[in-house]
Amino acid sequence: MGKITGFLEYERKVSAETAPGDRIKNWNEFHIPLSEAEQKKQGARCMDCGVPFCQAGVMMGGMVSGCPLNNLIPEWNDLVYTGNWQQAFNRLKKTNSFPEFTSRVCPAPCEAACTCGLNGDPVAVKENERAIIENAYKSGIAGPNPPSVRTGKKVAVIGSGPAGLAAADQLNKRGHLVTVFERSDRPGGLLMYGIPNMKLEKWVIHRKIEVMKEEGVTFVTNADVGRTYKANRILKEFDRVILACGASNPRDIDVPGRDGAGICFAVDFLKATTKSFLDTGLEDGNYISARDKHVVVIGGGDTGNDCVGAAIRHGCASVTQLEMMPEPPRKRAGNNTWPEWPRILKVDYGQEEAAWVFGKDPRVYQTTVKEFLKDPEGKVCGVITVSLEPKQDPETGRAYMAPVEGSERELPADLVLIAAGFTGAQSYVAEAFGVELDGRTNVAAAKDSYKTSADRIFTAGDMHRGQSLVVWAIREGREVAREVDKSLMGYSNLA
């Protein structure tokens, strides 16, 4: 695959980024694609390794190694190298429903497991993936391709995030009549409102939704199933139902002062910003503004980073990101060997921008909030933080982070964004359909079948597995589609 000596001849190169000082002036994506000639060189770097760990998608050390979708990466790397863009698209689409999404927001476990990266720089897999799908749209081969035969079977998909969209896309290709219900005003779920525009511009989602509509998928928006839209109505009208509503319960911080005004969940902050931006370019003011405010973000993950980037674009006075865990090492530790996911320090776009604006990385490690301070009007005006240190329970051996006595520190805070993750499915949807939850408050399902405790109802994505990556949601959406297809037809030819 690729050029036999390509990994020796060509250096890894990815798309350039607009300078932080320029990109923070707008909400646009800031990556500048490579030329076609350079992209072919990147495909040539795939080294015919013999054992493509990049496409394995197996769990190692508690994290995934390689692509969960089992993308045929060496094959389409070679096709990029030879300039066979149409066949590259065909091979990519065999396993990935939405490369236009994953090539923008996936953390690329494929690259972390690339054999070329063992003693050098990995192949630019994510870059090649994006080049393939964008070339496909440009040339017209990624356009609508509706099924020639319809089965007459009707499937309802509740939720239009990556899992729901993947399930709908696959089932529609099989010929079933699919309707997707979305509680928001625009389809896309997490992709639309959970990820800010500079990370995933929303025309990318609109483009794919329009293709799916032309292929026959029906979308019903502003349909909050279980509240404003009756579950019984759906059960009467459809042969099968797939619950793919995501893990929508944000994890809270239970400390004194939590009731102060100006303390909100990251998902609410990001959603309101994106909706206002799409509706009016932020002119309506219907969002939680960080302008001229001292912002504290609680949570060091991707959502926390997105909050940092958004707050800077709002024009915040300062931003601090609190992370409970210790700062990761710059290089792999001895117990974190390839091809495991590298648990090393990552500097994302939001942290880069904060460093440019304020002169330092916004993250403060091994720290959490002990108390929120409020002014006489009940608004948050500061936080008391406390340092943490790793300890081990002598009885269970379990590691935990313990507060360090006397390490309290006060930080100014006019806006606090809680980005501490999500705890599971929202109960009202489960109750409306009469499905059981597991011990983690996710919708319980039979192993490998995605079938819930209720007849004719299936589940997939974060609602089933808990908060996870977009690529895992797409995988589960494709797998649940196959199981639903089997239940309707007695067999399935879906991949």
Domain boundary among 418, 441, 457: 418
Q: Which amino acid is at 241?
A: V
Closest among 192, 193, 165 to 180, alpha carbons compared: 165
The answer to whether residues 52 and 191 belong to one domain is no
Reported as a single tens digit per residue, the pLDDT across 46-83 is 998 989 999 999 999 889 999 999 999 999 999 999 99
From CA 156, how far away is CA 119, in angstroms rounded? 48
Helix (H) or strand (E) holding 203: helix 202-214
Mean pLDDT of all residues in 424-449: 93
The answer to whether residues 198 and 295 belong to one domain is no
The answer to whether residues 271 and 125 belong to one domain is no
What pLDDT band is residue 241 in, cutting at 50, 70 and 90? Answer: very high
Query: Is residue 312 predicted with pLDDT exceeding 80?
Result: yes
Q: Give the per-residue pLDDT at 248.
A: 87
Mean pLDDT of the chain: 96
Query: Is residue 447 predicted with pLDDT exceeding 90?
Result: no
Q: Give the per-residue pLDDT at 145.
A: 97
From CA 285, how far away is CA 72, in angstroms rounded? 45
Q: Which amino acid is at 346?
A: K
From CA 264, how far away is CA 419, in angstroms rounded? 9
CA angle, 478 then 480 then 483, to 5°: 115
The answer to whether residues 369 and 409 belong to one domain is yes
The answer to whether residues 267 and 408 belong to one domain is yes
The total of other beta-carbon atoms located within 10 Å of residue 400's CB is: 11
Mean pLDDT of all residues in 383-405: 94
Share of the chain above pLDDT 90, in %: 95
What pLDDT band is residue 158 in, cutting at 50, 70 and 90? Answer: very high
Mean pLDDT of all residues in 389-413: 94
Domain boundary among 396, 418, 440: 418
CATH number, domain with residue 98: 1.10.1060.10
Mean pLDDT of all residues in 224-238: 97
Q: Which of 122-126, 373-377, 423-427 has the lowest mean pLDDT?
A: 423-427
What pLDDT band is residue 495 in, cutting at 50, 70 and 90? Answer: confident
Reported as a single tens digit per residue, the pLDDT across 95-137 is 999 999 999 999 999 999 999 999 899 999 999 999 999 999 9
From CA 115, how far away is CA 65, in angstroms rounded? 12
Measure the CA dihedral 272/273/274/275, to 10°.
40
Mean pLDDT of all residues in 411-416: 98
Query: Is residue 1 predicted with pLDDT exceeding 80?
Result: no
Q: Give the per-residue pLDDT at 392.
A: 92
The answer to whether residue 118 is domain-embedded is: yes
Mean pLDDT of all residues in 409-424: 96
Q: Give the per-residue pLDDT at 223.
A: 98
How many independent structural domains does the chain possess?
3
The total of other beta-carbon atoms located within 10 Å of residue 85's CB is: 20
CATH number, domain with residue 319: 3.50.50.60
CA angle, 120 then 123 then 128, to 5°: 160
Give residue 485's domain range: 154-248+423-489
The answer to whether residues 433 and 413 belong to one domain is no
From CA 164, how far away is CA 320, in angstroms rounded? 35
Query: Is residue 459 predicted with pLDDT exceeding 90?
Result: yes
Domain boundary among 139, 166, 191: 139
Q: What pTM did the predictor assign?
A: 0.96
Query: Is residue 2 predicted with pLDDT exceeding 90?
Result: no
Q: Give the per-residue pLDDT at 141.
A: 97
Mean pLDDT of all residues in 32-40: 97
Check residue 192 and report its DSSP letter: I
Q: Give the per-residue pLDDT at 48.
A: 87
Query: Is residue 442 predicted with pLDDT exceeding 90?
Result: yes
Q: Give the per-residue pLDDT at 128.
A: 98
The answer to whether residues 42 and 116 belong to one domain is yes
Q: Position of tokens 């360090």?
A: 404
The answer to whether residues 97 and 27 belong to one domain is yes
Mean pLDDT of all residues in 288-300: 97
The answer to whether residue 388 is domain-embedded is: yes
The answer to whether residues 298 and 400 belong to one domain is yes
